[in-house]
Amino acid sequence: MPLTCQQLLNKYSAPWASATVHPFLAQCQQGTIQAQQFNTWLIQDYHFVVEFTRLAASLIQSAPVSHLDLLLGGMTVLKDELNWFQTKAMERNLNLGQPLQPTCQTYCSFMADLAHEPYGLKATGFWAIELAYNQGWQGHSPMPQPYAEFADRWGNADFTTYVDLLEQQADSVLQSADDATCIEVEKTFLTVAILEKDFWQMAYAEGVSG
């Protein structure tokens, strides 16, 4: 039986729960997150999205033609997202030029390496990253202002549909994956889960300024 994304979620349910349920999200929902903590996350997430956009571009380079429409649509959303992050940073008087924190650097390096892997690994990792945001923000909604806008961006129904379609595309590639590839896919999925948990936790690091 071929490996599927749902099997990954079932097998690694505990680490996946840690990737999508975190005090950072809970405190955003409760309105108790400190501005310093949220700003730390926002700046580092901007850097993350820059590298994630490069990963998305690498998928387009190696994707089957039937997958291009969805991936190209996603690139348009990422373009808007990068601009949106810049607007949010301006509203908060934040400097997006601050260096990457070690956790963010580790995640960005992982994505840079993933961009050179076979399409099946990239497609699965890309889906997992998007799913983590979709489930994380959706699972902690509704949120009060000013966090409602963030929860809606990644927790809305259209984004959920997009993530579901990414899952279908990943599954279609995994149908023909050999055992060695499946092992690497599992490693990739588990790495995403761990990195997502660490990324939320990074919001509590010190040293962010305007």
CATH number for the domain harbouring residue 108: 1.20.910.10
Radius of gyration, alpha carbons of the chain: 17
DSSP 203: G
- The dihedrals phi and psi of 197, each to the nearest 5 degrees, come to -60, -45
Distances (CA, A) of 165 to 13, 27, 74, 94, 194: 21, 30, 11, 35, 23
Is residue 209 in a domain?
Answer: no
DSSP 195: H
**Lookup: tokens for 117:** 């892997």
**Lookup: tokens for 74:** 């996603």
Is residue 181 in a domain?
Answer: yes
Determine the pLDDT at residue 206.
62
| Domains identified in the chain, total number | 1
Is residue 154 in a domain?
Answer: yes
Is residue 206 in a domain?
Answer: no
Is residue 207 in a domain?
Answer: no
Q: pLDDT per position in the chain (210 positions), as tens?
A: 789 999 999 999 999 999 999 999 999 999 999 999 999 999 999 999 999 999 999 999 999 999 999 999 999 999 999 999 999 999 999 999 999 999 999 999 999 999 999 999 999 999 999 999 999 999 999 999 999 999 999 999 999 999 999 999 999 999 999 999 999 999 999 999 999 999 999 999 865 444
Is residue 164 in a domain?
Answer: yes
Q: Which domain holds residue 53?
A: 5-201
Is residue 112 in a domain?
Answer: yes
Is residue 210 in a domain?
Answer: no
Amino acid, single-letter form, for residue 168: Q
**Lookup: tokens for 138:** 């959706």
